[in-house]
Amino acid sequence: MTAIDLSLARSLDAFRLADVVFRPETAEDAAAIDAIHDVTFGPGRYARTAFRIREGHAADGPTSLVAVYRGDVVGSVRLTAIAVGDTPALLLGPLAVLPALKNLGVGKALMRLSLEAARQRGHRLVVLVGDLPYYRPFGFGPVPAGRVILPGPVDPARLLWAELVPGASAGVGGSVRATGPTA
């Protein structure tokens, strides 16, 4: 357990999702987010294909959100600007919530709010690598085989996308590369 977990454990009985503040990530949040990634994904995260796409590129500011509870960052979702072939899109991930606050709605709220921010900013398509049962309620479904090519191995059943605008995935295909500013 991290120090942050211990302080949270004392206040969990009183936890209310309404007390969580969701806001765009800032540079000052980086260390706290890294600590959450460390505890949720471990060092293996650096070898993941999605990590390789994002590596060296800044997350998309307006859509990458943190969840803050009693002054501590307890959850984070990052989105990164990508192109699939020639089509602009966002790559969603990592999504992570501190284990002490698991299954209390923080992850779902981060998903809902970040996708809403993406939609408002005119983004049309979001791609991710993750568990379909978790992401399906947000509009994600499997990418048809061979349509999206990642720079490394990925379980095809976990390669998902969601249209923020109906029809946004029509005709889209090709290799994925990050297009945002370098970090």
Ligand X SMILES: CC(C)(COP(=O)(O)OP(=O)(O)OC[C@H]1O[C@@H](n2cnc3c(N)ncnc32)[C@H](O)[C@@H]1OP(=O)(O)O)[C@@H](O)C(=O)NCCC(=O)NCCS
**Closest CB to ligand X among 112 and 119?**
112
Residue nearest to ligand X (CB): 107
Residue 122 Cβ vs ligand X, minimum distance, rounded to whole Å? 25
| All residues at 6 or more sequence positions from 142 whose CB lies less than 8 Å from its CB, including other chains | 132, 156, 157, 159, 160
CA dist 158 and 86 (Å) reads 22
Residue 118 Cβ vs ligand X, minimum distance, rounded to whole Å? 17
CA triplet 136, 140, 144: central angle to 5 degrees? 120
Q: Which residues sit opposite 174 in a β-bridge? A: 148
Residue 14 Cβ vs ligand X, minimum distance, rounded to whole Å? 17
**Closest CB to ligand X among 108 and 119?**
108
Residue 35 Cβ vs ligand X, minimum distance, rounded to whole Å? 13
**Closest CB to ligand X among 48 and 119?**
48
**Closest CB to ligand X among 107 and 180?**
107
Per CB under 6 A, residues contacting ligand X are 40, 95-97, 102-108, 130-131, 133-134
| All residues at 6 or more sequence positions from 30 whose CB lies less than 8 Å from its CB, including other chains | none
Relative to beta strand 148-149, strand 174-178 is parallel
Residue 40 Cβ vs ligand X, minimum distance, rounded to whole Å? 4
Strand residues in 39-182 grouped as ranges (E) = 65-69, 72-84, 87-97, 125-129, 141-142, 148-149, 159-163, 174-178
CA dist 103 and 108 (Å) reads 9
**Closest CB to ligand X among 61 and 105?**
105
